[in-house]
Amino acid sequence: MTGNGQYIAYATIVRKEVTRVLRIWPQTLFPPVITQTLYFLIFGKFIGSQIRDINGINYMTFIVPGLVMMAVINTSFVNVVSSFFSSKFQRSIEELIVSSTSNEVIIAGYVTGGVVRGIIVGSLVFLVSILFTWPRVQHLAVIFSFVILTAIVFALGGLLNAIFAKKFDDISIFPTFIMTPMIYLGGVFYSIDNLPPFWRMVSKFNPVLYMVNGFRYGFFGFSDVNVFASFMILAVFAVVLTLVNLVLLQRGTGLKT
């Protein structure tokens, strides 16, 4: 198939994914916005008013980037893992396998679907945050770079999970037992500078810390970690996960017998 043919295949997967997300928006877009709104209310408004400023930023404003990023991470992962696994479960993934669509395009299509949903939800959460505070924006390019790269990494993670998943339980194990603790301990609600040295060191092994802090740097101009290093770590994750997914699809792991 020519380059144009592969582009048409890519556009078909993306259109199908985005149509699905928009068709069932009460399931795909609304719940994360409600959850984050509750975080703004409880942690930002009710509890946050009793917490001192962090680097001159009031607590409500401080948690905005973290909560937006949390929504992006969860949504981009969940979109791909649920969509790809449902396709496996219903066997509609065979439509792609028997076609001349390349594995690279399959990955790109599903990941784009996850990124689009992640960015829509992230934007909605950001709009909600404006009801509570007015976060300043210092480096727009950094914000976009981090949000897109983070969404890509977690969408790829979702695809990896879906490839290995054999039953619906398998698609909730990673988000519940690995991803959620990583997000909550990734500096969404606090600066690691406020942690004891041991936990500060442990936190540095958490990739979510780099995503949240890079993103936060775009808003406030400060970060607990080196922003360039954060970007590179994310880029390496994206490349490694892409290659792993590609090898698995080429082998037919979880898809072919």
Partner 1 sequence: MNAISIKNLTKTYSNGTRALKGVDLQVSAGDFCALLGANGAGKTTIIGILTGLVNKTSGHVEVFGHDIDREHQSAKRVIGVVPQEMNFSIFEKVEDIVVNQAGYFGIDRKTASAEAEKNLRRLRLWDQRQQMAKNLSGGMKRRLMIARALVNKPRLLILDESTAGVDVEIRHSMWEFLGELNSGGTAILLTTHYLEEVERLCRRAAIIKDGLIIANDRVKNLVKMVARETYIVHVDAIRSLEKIRGYHPVMIDENTFEVELSKEERLNEFIAYLSQLGMVVTDFRPKGNRIEKLFLHILNSQTGIGAGL
Residue 26 or 56 with smaller CB distance to partner 1: 26
Does residue 176 belong to the site contacting partner 1 (CB under 8 A)?
no
Q: Measuring CA to CA, which residue among 253, 252, 254 is closest to residue 98?
A: 252
The whole-angstrom separation of Cα 247 and Cα 250 is 5
Which element (helix H / strand E) includes 253?
A: none
Residue 106 or 241 with smaller CB distance to partner 1: 106
Does residue 100 belong to the site contacting partner 1 (CB under 8 A)?
yes
CB of 13 to partner 1, least distance (A): 8
Binding to partner 1 by CB under 8 A, coded x per residue (else -) over 59-98, reads: ---------------------------xx--xxx-xxxxx
Residue 73 or 116 with smaller CB distance to partner 1: 116
- The interface with partner 1 within residues 102-131 (CB under 8 A) comprises 102
CB of 152 to partner 1, least distance (A): 22
Which element (helix H / strand E) includes 193?
A: none
Residue 52 or 256 with smaller CB distance to partner 1: 256
Q: Would you say 245 and 163 are in contact if contact means Cβ atoms under 8 Å apart?
A: yes
Q: Would you say 118 and 154 are in contact if contact means Cβ atoms under 8 Å apart?
A: yes
The whole-angstrom separation of Cα 88 and Cα 82 is 10
The one-character DSSP state at 1 is -
The whole-angstrom separation of Cα 205 and Cα 203 is 5
CB of 100 to partner 1, least distance (A): 4
Q: Measuring CA to CA, which residue among 192, 183, 190 is closest to residue 211?
A: 183
Does residue 18 belong to the site contacting partner 1 (CB under 8 A)?
no
Helix (H, G, I), strand (E, B) or coil at 77: helix
Residue 136 or 251 with smaller CB distance to partner 1: 251
Q: Which residues of this chain interact with partner 1, rule CB under 8 A?
A: 1-2, 4-6, 8-9, 11-13, 15-16, 86-87, 90-92, 94-102, 251-252, 256-257
